[in-house]
Amino acid sequence: MSQTIHFTKMHGAGNDYIYVDASRYPIADPSAAARAWSDRHKGIGSDGLVLISRSSVPEADFAMRIFNADGSEAMMCGNACRCIGKYLYEKGLTRKTQIRLLTLSGVKVLELRTCGRRVETVTVDMGEPVFENRSQFNPVAMSDNPQALSSITGGNGTFVSMGNPHYVVFTDDVDAVERLGREMECHPAFPERCNIELADVCGDGIRVRVWERGSGVTMACGTGACATAVAACSTGRASRKCRIFMDGGTLDVEWRESDNHVYLTGPAAFVFEGSVNS
């Protein structure tokens, strides 16, 4: 028996997802829904599907699940977190300007900057970066199987986990992301597959293009922006505060020395709303 599901299309710096209030519209097979609805020719069109619900634990106010365009479930998405903050506040589901959001990477705190009943920007506490995680990155496999490291990497890259795995390569050829990302996502060094960022440090920030595992090239990636900022700082290419220029817009990232947490700030926007039969 089919049901009609109301959805909201939103984007953060061009990283677009379909958002559904799962407490009102439960979806039995979100992986299949993500694959069907994300199709940009035959579906709604998006980088994936995000389900919003009340938290099942007292440490958080709300919870999110996120599914990539290929149906795989992601652990975390900074752009989606910002959109959820705007969604919850502007739809009247909360009056809090600090929201605790449960993700598969733990509880993330959203700080909303509001003007009246509108959310102008959202800052997400993305937690601490991790440079060594053998379940996500095996450097031995990288050195033993270097064929996917094309000449533009120079054999160099920086692994950073923001809950989900990222491999950041600094280069002046960021437009090679589609070819390199396709090669690198499933490299044996990444047991869970990997997000790939190509980054070029410029005068007032860092130009980044990203290949997201399960979605391909996207307009922006919040965790990717954070991973790039951390990689740039840790290799002496940038300070702890930097601006990240992605295809879909600009994000501000701060890696605070006081708590070792990474903070992501940027806009979120509604695109359109509609209904779909499932």
Asked if 100 contacts 67 with a C-beta cutoff of 8 angstroms, the reply is no
pLDDT tens, residue by residue, 108-137: 999 999 999 999 999 999 999 999 999 999
In the prediction, which pLDDT does 243 show?
Answer: 98
What mean pLDDT is predicted for residues 40-57?
97
The rounded percent of the chain whose pLDDT value lies above 70 is 95
d(CA 119, CA 78): 16
Residue type, 214: G
> Which of 147, 90, 150, 88 has the alpha carbon at shortest distance from 115?
90
221 is catalytic: yes
Which of 77, 81, 226, 242 is flagged as catalytic?
77
Residues in CB range of 214: below 8 A, 6 or more apart: 48, 68, 69, 70, 71, 72, 74, 193
Q: What is the reported pLDDT for 183?
A: 86
Q: How many CB atoms lie within 10 A of CB 59?
A: 9
Spatial CA neighbour of 230 closest among 268, 192, 191, 257: 257
Rounded distance between C-alpha atoms, residue 138 and residue 194, angstroms: 12
Alpha-carbon distance 241 to 81, whole Å? 20
Mean pLDDT confidence for 29-49: 98
What pLDDT digit, counting tens, does each position of 9-22 carry? 999 999 999 999 99
E strands, 150-221, in order: 158-161, 165-170, 195-202, 205-212, 216-218
Q: What is the pLDDT of residues 191-212, one digit of tens each?
A: 999 999 999 999 899 999 999 9
Tell me what pLDDT residue 203 has: 85
When pLDDT is averaged across residues 89-96 and rounded to a whole number, the result is: 98
CA distance 96 to 203: 37
26, 50, 76, 138 from 31: Cα distances, Å: 13, 11, 16, 28
142-146, 212-216, 238-242: least confidently modelled range: 142-146
Report all structural domains of the chain as residue ranges with CATH numbers, in order of start. Answer: 4-126+266-277 (3.10.310.10), 139-260 (3.10.310.10)
Look at residues 176, 184, 182 and name the one whose alpha carbon lies nearest to residue 159. Answer: 184
Q: Catalytic residue among 221, 226, 233, 242, which?
A: 221
Q: What share of the chain is helix, strand, coil (3-state, %, to 5)?
A: 20, 40, 40
Whether the per-residue pLDDT at 154 is higher than 80: the answer is: no
Residue 155 pLDDT = 58
Contact of 239 with 233, CB cutoff 8 Å: yes
- Res. 147: pLDDT tops 80: no
Confidence band of 153 (pLDDT split at 50, 70, 90):
low
